[in-house]
Structures are given as structure tokens and as C-alpha cells.
Amino acid sequence: MGFLKTYSSMFWLLAGIIAGSIAGLIFGEKVVIIKPIGDIFLNLLFTVIIPLVFFCIANAIAHIDAGNKLGRILGMMSLVFLSTILISAFLTIVAVWLFPIHQQVALSKNINIEQPGNWGEQLSRLLTVGEFYELLSRKNMLPFIIFSGLTGFAAMRVGEAGKAFRQFLYSGNEVMKEVLGVIMKLGPVGLGAYFAYQVGTVGPQLFGTYAHSLGIYYGFGIFYFIFGFSLYAFVAGGIPGIKIFWKNNIIPTLTAVGTGSSIATIPANLEAVAKMGVPQDIGNVVVPLGATLHKDGSSISSIIKMAVVFAMFGKSFDSPSVVLMALGVTVIASIVEGGIPNGGYIGELLVMSIYGFPIEALPPLMIIGTLVDPLATILNATGDNVAAMLTTRFLRGRAPAVS
């Protein structure tokens, strides 16, 4: 019963999508009449994204404790987080190259994902906007994320003078998370209607693309979980590091599966890293922040989603510029997703914003994110434990497993 309760929202979402897909197969293009229901759901989702992202990021940064000599730990932890996210993303790109997602479905052939101008102009448009009001558009998600982070950093820096503002950020974050939760209750109906439209107008070949992408995710995800984490544990503590990691990683893995949440796995992770030989001052920083900022599973799914949508729109996913941009987007999306219920949808909107995909790209991104969630949660949650071991190894110059 606990498992069903944890993943009940996912099952309802899948039920709506399956029902909509069946309706599309049966009624064909006649289902276009219910497409506005899907449009209403997506529009509601779009409107909540901007305030939600602002409050989430600004609140998280504003409440970071700048004291207690955390600078060195935070610096090394950030390098470890960034490295593992980039490694998982790049290896996923290699997996997509080895097992390419065939371009079976062309939802649109008239979009241009190339940004005009030279690299300097592209970078300027990617990171900034010319007017404040432009930040409030979902088409400029990355500049808005940067602005939110700067606001949170300033609120942290001003100390006592910013106490009321920090409380406002915390309260706003809680309210907007609840708003998103209410909207997502409409997900089964909204996505069901949209999938009925897609299947009815595009055809059942959609399912072949989804099955292929899910096969890549679960195949590579399990490989990364076993061999990738073992390699990290070896770097942290040699053969003893591998043994002590897997010996104490069982309970966190089961907790991640049972709760479906990286946040809920924090207590199990804290207990596990202590047994892995990670000092308390490092474990108490890396594990809680890792639950929000460190998402190897989300990194892998982000690349898979991009590859699927590129294929659906008839675009190649192998040029150097696309790969570099994908790695950057993955890092940002993995960080943004942390701490937000249904946070994967925020990352998906970021993908759409940066690459300029139309609204038709969102439902495929959402369904893939939903289907990979169980394994993604395991990778996200338990990856914090091996990250804590690596941080100890590089920061203290000794293996945590033999400390």
C-alpha cells in the first residue's frame, strides 16, 4: 500500500495518458475537439512556472548559512556535483549515439533551433535580457534563473536587514509549491486530452519512440548505478570504498524507491554516509544540499528527453554546438529540478525555452519524465552518498572508508 500511495500520482497520470491514447486510436482526428482541455492544463502550468522558479531558487540561496567555515566544503562539494552530473550526461549522449532514437515522428518541420549571430551574441541572448519585463517570459528561463539566484544571494548577504524579505521568499515558495500541486491534479485529464490529440493526428508510431527512449534510460541508468557509482566509490576509497559503499547503500536505495523522493531519503543517507566513514561536518552539508542540487538521474533523463524531442522534430543531436549546449542545459535543469514537487517539468520548460521548441514538445517531455521517475529517484538520492565520499577524499586527502 505504501508503494501505491507514493506513486499514485504517477499511476493516475499514466492512466489518463493511456485512456487518451486509446481514444486517439479509436476516434482518430475527431479527438481534436478535446485538444483545448489539454491546452488549458498546459497554459496553467506555464503561468505558475515563473513565480515558482523565482521563489524556489531565491529562497534556497537566501537561507544558506554563510558561516561555520563552510566555504571549502561547499567549494569541493560543488566541483564533485558538477563533475558527476557532466559525466552522467556525456555518457548518456554516447549511449544515444550508440543506440540512436530513430526519427519516426515529425511533429513539425518548420522550427529553427539555431540561434542567430556569433557565439558572443548567442551567449548574451542565452544569459541575459534587455528589459526586466522580458524576464517574466518562459522563453527566457535561463536569464530568469540567474536573476533569481542573484536575488537570493543578495538576501543572504544583507543579514538582519533582509530577514523579512527572506521570510517572504520562504512563504512564497511554500505557496507556489502548493499551487503547482493543485494544477498537477488536473494532469491526468489535461495530458490525456493532449495525448488523444497527438495519437489521433500523428499516429501510434509515437509509442515506438517512447519505448526506445525508455529502454535506453533504464538500460544505461542501471549500468551507471552499478558501475558508475562503484567507480566513484573506488576513487574515494579503493576496493574497501566499493565494499563499504554498497554495504551501506541498500537502505537508502530501498527508501528512495519506497518514498519516491530525494528529500525523504535524507535521514537514511545521513546514517549511511556516517557508516561509510564520511565526517559529520561534511555529511551534514553534502547530503541535504545534494538532495536539492545533485541529480545524476535527472541529468540522464534530461539528455534522453532532448534526444527524443530532437528526433521528433527532425533535428540532429550530434553537432558539437548542440552537445555543448545540451551539457549546459542538463546541469541547469538538474539543479532547478531539486526541491520542487514535479520539478522535472521545470527542467523540461527550460529545454523548450533554450532550444525554441513549440508547445507540442512539452507532453513528450513530461511523459518520459514520468516513466523514468523511479530509477531517476534512486540515482538522484543515492548519488549523494558517493558524492559525500568523494568530497571527503578530495577535501581531507584520505579515503573515508579507512578513516
Instruction: Give the per-residue pLDDT at 403.
Output: 45
CA distance 225 to 261: 17
Q: How many CA atoms lie within 13 A of 266 on its CB side?
A: 13
Helix (H, G, I), strand (E, B) or coil at 211: helix
CA distance 35 to 109: 21
Q: Which range has the top average pLDDT, 44-58, 211-225, 346-360?
A: 211-225
Task: Report the interhelical angle of 71-98 vs 320-337 (nearest 10°).
Answer: 130
What are the DSSP calls for 247-283, one per residue? Answer: HHSHHHHHHHHHH--TGGGHHHHHHHHHHTT--HHHH
* Segments in 119-162 forming alpha helices (H): 119-127, 141-157
CA distance 147 to 58: 9
268: amino acid identity, one letter:
A
Instruction: Give the per-residue pLDDT at 114.
Output: 47
Would you say 327 and 387 are in contact if contact means Cβ atoms under 8 Å apart? no
Per residue in 235-294, pLDDT tens?
998 999 999 999 889 888 887 876 666 776 877 888 889 889 888 778 877 887 787 778
Q: Which residue has the cell 513565480?
A: 51
pTM beyond 0.85, yes or no: no
Instruction: Give the per-residue pLDDT at 168.
Output: 95
Per residue in 302-325, pLDDT tens?
888 888 888 877 777 777 877 888
Higher pLDDT, 226 or 266: 226
CA distance 207 to 222: 22
Higher pLDDT, 399 or 149: 149
Query: Mean pLDDT for the chain?
Result: 78
Q: What angle do CA 263, 265, 268 make, to 5 degrees?
A: 140
- The answer on pLDDT for 342 being more than 60 is no
- The answer on pLDDT for 115 being more than 50 is no
CA distance 184 to 178: 10
Would you say 77 and 289 are in contact if contact means Cβ atoms under 8 Å apart? yes
- The answer on pLDDT for 402 being more than 60 is no
CA distance 87 to 400: 22
Task: Report the interhelical angle of 229-248 vs 250-259 (nearest 10°).
Answer: 90
Using CB atoms within 10 Å of the CB of residue 374, give its burial: 0 to 12 exposed, 13 to 18 middle, 19+ buried. Answer: middle
Query: What mean pLDDT do residues 380-403 have?
Result: 81
Instruction: Please state the separation of Cα 176 from the chain's center in Å.
Output: 18
**104 C-beta neighbours (distance < 10 Å), count:** 14
* 212 band by pLDDT with thresholds 50, 70 and 90: confident
Higher pLDDT, 396 or 298: 298
Name the nearest CA neighbour of 290 among 384, 201, 365, 226: 384
Q: Using only C-alpha atoms, what is the Rg of the chain?
A: 21
CA distance 245 to 315: 41
Per residue in 127-165, pLDDT tens?
788 888 888 876 677 688 788 888 988 998 888 898 999
CA distance 185 to 271: 34
Q: How many CA atoms lie within 13 A of 222 on its CB side?
A: 5
* 74 band by pLDDT with thresholds 50, 70 and 90: confident
**183 C-beta neighbours (distance < 10 Å), count:** 16
Instruction: Give the per-residue pLDDT at 235.
Output: 93
Per residue in 27-67, pLDDT tens?
887 888 888 888 888 788 778 778 877 887 788 778 766 55
- The answer on pLDDT for 234 being more than 90 is yes
CA dihedral 69, 72, 78, 79 (to 10 degrees): 180
- The answer on pLDDT for 201 being more than 60 is yes
